[in-house]
Amino acid sequence: MARQAKYFDTRFKQSLLHPRYWGTWLAIAVLFLFGVLPATVRDPIAKLLARVVMKVASKPIRIAKVNITHCFPDKSPDEVDELIKQNVETFVITLLSQAELLIRSKAYLKRRIQLNGFENVQAARDAKQPIIFIMPHVWPMEYAGLRINLEIPLVTMVKAHRNGLFNWFSNRMRSSQGGRVYMREAGIRALLAELKNDNSFFYLPDEDLGPDKSIFAPFMGTVKATLPVVGRLAQAGNAQVMPVKIGYDQQAKQFIMTVMPAINPQEMVGKENEAIALNKVVEQVINAYPEQYMWFLKLLKTRPLGEKEFY
C-alpha cells in the first residue's frame, strides 16, 4: 500500500461542533465580524486592543525584549520598548484582519496586498523551475502565501495546533486558493516531491530547531542556530530560492509585498555558506519591516557551547 500523504484534510467534520469548541467558534465569529469591517474602522479598534495586550502579555514581551536587545545591540531601552509597542500593534491589526483572507474576493485581496517583484517569479516559471520562497516568521506571512497562491500553485508545511477547530480554520484559510498544507511530520521528502511536480512552497528558515544538524552563523547582532537544508533541496528539485518581504502600511491600508531576486546557488554551496546566506536574507526581510517580525519566538534559544542561555 502506498504511503499516505500527510497533509491536512480541510473538509468539515461533525466533531468540530463538539461543545469543547464552542469558545473557539465564538472567537472565529468575532474574527469574521472584523474581517468584513473596512480597515479604516478595524485598525483603530486594533490599536486600542493592542494597549490591553501590552498590559497582559508579560511573558511574550519579555522574550521579545531579549531578542530585540541582542539583535539590535545599538538600540536604547526606549527604542526597544517603542519597537515592541509597534510590534504588538501590528500583531493585533493583522490578527483582526485575517478572516478577510477566507471571505473576501480574489479581486479584493489583489488590491489589499500589493505584489512587487513578480517578474522574478515569472522568470523562474518561464524557465520551468519551481520556487522555494524564503520568509521568516512575520505577522502578515499568511497574506504573503495567499497572494502568491493567487498567481501560481503553492504548498506549505506547518505544525499542527492542539485545538482541532482552530487547526481546521487556519488551514482552511491557507488552502482557500487551491494550495495544500502539509503537516510537519511529512518531512522534507514531501516538499521535494512537490518541487518535482512543479509546485512551489514557502519555507521559514528562522525557527530554532535545536543543535542537531544546525549550524551557528552570524545573525543581526549575534549568532543563530540555522538548519541548512534549502540549498540541497533546491538543487535536488531544480528550484530557485527567493526571499519575500511583506509589511503593513497603515496609511495606505495595504500589505506591501516584494519577491526579491533569487539567491545565487553558489552562495549556498556547503552547510556553513548556506547558513550564512539564509541568515543574511532573513536579516534583510526583518530590517525592511522590523515591527512586523514575531519577536516573541525563542529564535535564539540554542546557544554555542559555553554561552549562557538568553531566556
78-104: pLDDT as tens digits: 999 999 999 999 999 999 999 999 999
Look at 267 and 188; give whichever has higher pLDDT: 267
**Residues forming beta bridges with residue 249, ordered by sequence position:** 254
Task: Compute the half-sphere exposure of residue 287: CA atoms within 13 Å on the CB side of its CA.
Answer: 11
pLDDT in tens, 217-227: 999 999 999 99
The pairing of beta strand 222-226 with beta strand 131-134: unpaired
- Helix, strand, coil percentages, rounded to 5, for the chain: 50, 15, 30
Give the residue, 39 or 179, on which the prediction is more confident: 39
Q: What is the pLDDT of residue 2?
A: 41
Percent of the chain surpassing pLDDT 90: 75
Residue 224, classed as helix, strand or coil, is strand
DSSP secondary-structure letter at 305? Answer: T
- The answer on pLDDT for 207 being more than 60 is yes
pTM assigned to the model:
0.91
Contact 52, 89 (CB under 8 A): no
- pLDDT tens digit string along 139-173? 999 999 999 999 998 988 888 788 989 889 988 88
Three-state DSSP at 242 gives strand
